[in-house]
Structure 1
Amino acid sequence: MTDLPDPRPLPLDHLSLRGKDGAPALVLKDRLLTFTELDQRVGQLATWLTEAVPEKGARVASWAAKGEATCLLPLAAARAGLVHVPINPLLKRAQAAHILADSGAAMLIGTESRLASLEDGDLPVSCNAIGEKEIWGRVGAVAGSLGPCDADPDDLVAILYTSGSTGRPKGVMLSHANLWLGAASVAHYLKLEPDDVTLAVLPLSFDYGQNQLLSTWYAGAKAAPLDYLFPKDVAKACARHGVTTLAAVPPLWVQLTEIDWPDDATSNMRRLTNSGGALTPTLIESLCTIFPTSQIYPMYGLTEAFRSTYLDPSLVAKHPASMGKAIPFAEILVVNDSGQITADGEEGELVHCGPLVAQGYWQDPERTAERFKPAPQASEYGGTAVWSGDRVVRDDTGLLYFSGRRDAMIKSAGNRISPQEIEEAALTSGIAKQAVALGLPDNRLGHAIHLVLRGDASGEDELRKKLKSDLPNFMQPSVIHWRDAMPTNPNGKIDRVALARELQTEDAG
């Protein structure tokens, strides 16, 4: 794909029309869907959805592994005039219940075992739940198949929930245009072609994970979803499907470099993409050894603006620490504390402008106003911009380099984790009187979760059982520290910076 993509977005469900008739589109466990079949199945599912959830703009949530329903729902909900709310299948019932309540979901489609885990009150009164195995029987009983919709590209089509540094997950509102142009942008700069095969290993509830499908279909290519248990499962799938494109986050890349890769798993690989944290020079070297003919694409993004930058593979060897430059349809500015564009070498805040900027946080005007603000005067796009909170530096060639974050969000194993969620789970146990969750640097995870508590240390075993019951595996603390007292700042609040410094000193000692 050498030409710049068309900047005019279409309704999201039109992605099912991008491939040639008979061209492969989606690999399922029991069969392969061509683009013709993909469009037909999307239309059938959309027809049933319009009868089951007749209110336009209603939210339909999914909470399941990568099956036909979860892969087709982004397009089928769009065609039916509904809003898709994917829930990470790794989340436990408490997090799923929050998302269902916050989004006001009218329907939940989920794995039967996940639905069975819900307790009284978890499901909103107006929300109907249906197991994913039941779906296709009901769909088959409905006559007809909806054709492509004519929705306004600015209409809301998805809400993706993401954690910040404080509070519970917040829903990022995405339009048809956001997702369509994001798919077009990625397909363009990755140079995806119709004969490509993308192995979709990341959760479809993440913007990075969902785009594995959307950008592949934009290019008229084939996607092969995979829920893996072990890293070797990824290598086996690459060999089985002749995978050409593999996306992952740094902790997964570390695991993948520690296994043996047969030639038939690497020989077809054209490109490796990374986001959710930086690749280290050592990791890049390992990837180049295993995949000597593959191009590496380091990328930076945030759900509020989909993706912001990528580093051209030709520059990775000389500039391995760089975030690169803006992707198509993104305008990336570095702004100092006075609101002015920084000079080369001057640190500032990364501000993302342009049509990839989301519509804000669902039913949360206060937090929306904190992150979504008027674009700087220097912006060519103007309008609303995402002020990321990330500190970056631009060099004299225009390449960007990450400096740090302003917030306390924990990024562990590619997941954005709210410290407050972990703290609330610890406090509800009754064992801890005060709780602080911190992310400390870790070579494998990016951040390791350290939970600092004031309370009865003899109850640690009971507390860990409670945390394992209430929180997903990626939110479990690596280390629990007990304190008789917490350090406080002049305002009487717990001094998180001092506490993190203490822990790092202890760890160094």
Structure 2
Amino acid sequence: MPHPLVLPLDHLALRGDPAAPALRLRGSVINHEALNLRIGRLAAWLLTRGLSEGDRAASWMGKTEIACLMPLAAARAGLIHVPINPLLKRAQVAHILSDSGARLLIAGTARLGTLEDGDLSEAKTIEEREADEALDGGGDALPASPGSRDTDDLAAILYTSGSTGRPKGVMLSHANLWLGALSVAEYLKLGADDVTLAVLPLSFDYGQNQLLGTWAAGGSVAPLDYLTAKDVIKACAKHQVTTLAAVPPLWVQLVEQAWMPEAVTPMRRLTNSGGALTPGLVIKLRGIFERADIYAMYGLTEAFRSTYLDPSLIDGNPTSMGRAIPHAEIMVVAEDGDEAAPDAPGELVHAGPLVAQGYWRDAARTAERFRPAPAWSRYGGTAVWSGDTVKRGHDGLLYFVGRDDAMIKTSGNRVSPQEIEEAADASDAVAESCAMGRKDESLGEAIVLFARGNGDEAGLRAHLKATLPNFMQPSEVVWLGEFPKNANGKIDRTALKARIAS
């Protein structure tokens, strides 16, 4: 299928007005001209570290300037960037370094000090301050990559959070990331005067596109490593933020805070992925941000992003995933391989130029997930078979049903955890929740509902009985003061599953 001209990823640094802000750091603002220059300097410095084209260069740090420049600097130098979530510990970092075959690791002194003998595998370590000195030293800068460069070359390996096993590296090309950035800029209607607050990890595909999508539109990014929800609100006011991206657990924290007018008034759009928004959460967001557009989205690292819901539809369809984003074809495939009928469940299959190149050095798992698109696909070629069950309504909107491996099989019924969670979250007793199955001799699986709220179990159960059928009622409610979160800020379902298995 035709798509816009694809250029090497580092050309994103050339799309903005040279004099306009591009990166808002704690003590300075870098314009687009300086952004391109500093990307070139960092790229040139990387090549003095003994690296060759195609080598993997890893970074393990917070949202510093180096962390923000690395995706484009590594691409300009012909390297493959491996961003590592700064919240990960030495065991996970050692696995990523070994699996990726990284030749270089840039990190701060404190993080490097946590590593032990053997953790680095083939990687040479460099302290982040050395890269900072190279940026400020006025050295040579590599020019932008030639437009003739093969954009099917790998630009990054993004490691999943590993909630279902050891993290696996998703291989993303220049074309994947370039078109992903253009797609996001288009459907979010980003402009050169937009300011994005980057609160999500830059190692997360959704987090990295806080940078890439904004720069594709010529806008500016304010990176933030926050400790509390109040830090996010203060940063929104300080930088006059127009675009805020988050995952549901963070939105839950944010709507529980008092928002100052100077943090609310500039806001144009809120974006959500990494889990569904609930109707109650949409109402709370709307109560704070009356004029901002709310974008509900669905994505998977293997295809970057798949769907978004037009903000004009969210109040009437708060649980919908929407429709395909630009440059994506989204199919709902029935068990027989045909297109699922309206309102019938099927597997979400994503085809088109955003589909990644597979898992790094893992042919077996690549073959499981990356398979030929259905014969009736418009794009054809290789597609990502998500493993997620969805349905498409008669109105053409998509709705998430559940992951095949997360569905609860109880009393002969297949129950979506999301449906139980949406019902629980709509009660006055619950702020956030997570439902899952526990093995049970008579039921097959009993439903366990983890909840954070006021502890009013009688009120919660009365609400659930009025809302859900008998076979969907929890056998047990476990109240938590705080949910465990994984490195990307999502609820850590693996940790919760371990609690009910022990």
Q: Shared fold (TM-score greater than 0.5)?
A: yes
CA drift at 1:179: 0.5
Percentage of matched positions with identical amino acids:
62
Q: Which residue of 1 aligns with 2:477?
A: none
Query: Conserved in 1, the CA contact under 8 Å of 2:38 and 2:135?
Result: no
Other-structure match for 1:16: 13
Correspondence for 1:7: 4
Instruction: Please name the residue that 1:172 is paired with.
Output: 170
Aligned to 1:103: 100
After superposition, what is the alpha-carbon deviation per residue over 1:299-338, rounded to whole angstroms, capped at 9, x for unaligned?
0000000000000001101111110000000000000111
The question of 1:360 aligning with 2:381 is answered no
Q: Is this contact kept in 2: 1:53–1:107, CA < 8 A?
A: no
Distance (whole Å) between structure 2 residues aligned to residue 478 and residue 101 of structure 1: 28
- Write the letter of the residue equivalent to 1:132: E
Task: Please state if 1:44 is matched with 2:48.
Answer: no
Q: Please state how far the C-alpha of 1:112 moved relative to its aligned partner.
A: 1.3
Shift of 1:473: 11
Matches within 5 A, 1:138-287: 138-139=134-135, 143-150=139-146, 151-163=149-161, 166-287=164-285
1:130 maps to a residue whose letter is I
* Contact map agreement 2:249 2:490 (CA 8 A) in 1: no
Contact 1:165 1:408 (C-alpha < 8 Å) held by counterparts: no
Contact kept? 1:249, 1:275, Cα under 8 Å: yes
When structure 1 is superposed on structure 2, of 187-196 and 44-53 the one drifting more is 44-53
- Give CA-to-partner distance per residue, 1:369-404, whole Å, 9 cap, x none: 000000001111111000000000101121001111
Asked whether the equivalents of residues 305 and 356 of structure 1 are also in contact (C-alpha less than 8 Å), the reply is yes
Q: What corresponds to 1:456 in structure 2?
A: none
Q: Rate the CA distance shift 1:21–1:357 in 2: closer, same or farther, 3 A.
A: same
The answer to whether the Cα contact below 8 Å between 2:249 and 2:491 also exists between their aligned partners in 1 is no
- The alignment's TM-score, normalised by the length of structure 2, stands at 0.82
- Are the aligned partners of 2:371 and 2:383 in contact in 1 as well (CA < 8 Å)? yes
Aligned pair count? 432
Alignment partner for residue 109 of structure 2, among 112, 115, 134? Answer: 112
Structure 2 Cα separation of the partners of residues 184 and 105 of structure 1: 29
TM-score normalised to structure 1 length: 0.81
Alignment of 1:468-507 (within 5 A): 477=495, 481=499
The residue that corresponds to 1:381 in the other structure is: 379
Q: Select the residue among 11, 14, 25 that pairs with 1:28.
A: 25
The letter for the 1-side match of 2:214 is T
Provide closer, same or farther for how the CA distance between residues 76 and 441 of structure 1 changes in structure 2, counting only shifts above 3 A.
farther
Provide Cα deviations, 1:147-189, integer angstroms capped at 9, x if missing partner: 1102311110000001456431000000001001000001000
Shift of residue 136 of structure 1?
2.2
Moved more, 338-347 or 161-170: 161-170
Q: How far apart are the structure 1 equivalents of 2:262 and 2:303?
A: 36
1:63 match: 60
Q: Does 1:311 pair with 2:305? A: no
Counterpart secondary structure, 2:112: helix
Name the counterpart of 1:128: 124
The code of the aligned residue for 2:192 comes to: P
Q: Is the 8 A contact 1:198 1:216 kept in 2?
A: yes
- CA contact 1:48–1:142 (8 Å) conserved in 2: no
Q: Which moved more, 1:248-257 or 1:337-346?
A: 337-346
CA 1:95–1:302: 2 relative to 1, 3 Å: same
SS of aligned partner of 1:351: strand
Query: Which residue of the partner structure matches residue 392 of structure 2?
Result: 394
After superposition, what is the alpha-carbon deviation per residue over 1:480-503, rounded to whole angstroms, capped at 9, x for unaligned?
Answer: 658xxxxxxxxxxxxxxxx6xxx9
Equivalent position SS for 2:33: helix
**Matches of 1:100 and 1:293 in 2, distance apart?**
45
CA 400–295 in structure 1, closer or farther in 2 if over 3 Å, else same? same
Aligned to 1:137: 133
Q: Is the deviation greater in 259-268 or in 159-168? A: 159-168
Give 1:407 shift: 2.3
- Please say if 1:346 is aligned against 2:344: yes
Aligned twin of 2:430 = none
Q: Which residue is 1:94 aligned to? A: 91
CA distance in 1, matches of 2:182, 2:88: 30
Instruction: Please tell me whether the aligned partners of residues 193 and 219 of structure 1 are also in contact (alpha carbons under 8 angstroms).
Output: yes
Counterpart residue type for residue 155 of structure 2: V
- Shift in alpha-carbon separation, 1:439–1:214, aligned structure 2, 3 A: farther
1:149 is aligned with what amino acid?
A: S
The reply to whether residue 325 of structure 1 matches residue 310 of structure 2 is no
Whole-angstrom distance in 2 between the partners of 1:265 and 1:165: 34
Structure 2 CA distance for partners of 1:87 and 1:180, relative to 1, 3 Å: same
Distance 2:399 2:499 in 1: 34
Consecutive unaligned residues of structure 2, counting only runs of 5 or more, are 408-416, 422-435, 437-445, 454-483
1:54 CA displacement: 3.0
User: Which structure 1 segments of 5+ residues have no match?
Assistant: 413-418, 420-437, 446-466, 483-498, 504-509
Deviation at 1:443, TM superposition (A): 5.1
Q: CA deviation at 1:440?
A: 5.9
Following superposition, the deviation at residue 102 of structure 1 comes to 0.3
Which residue of 1 is the match for residue 332 of structure 2? Answer: 334
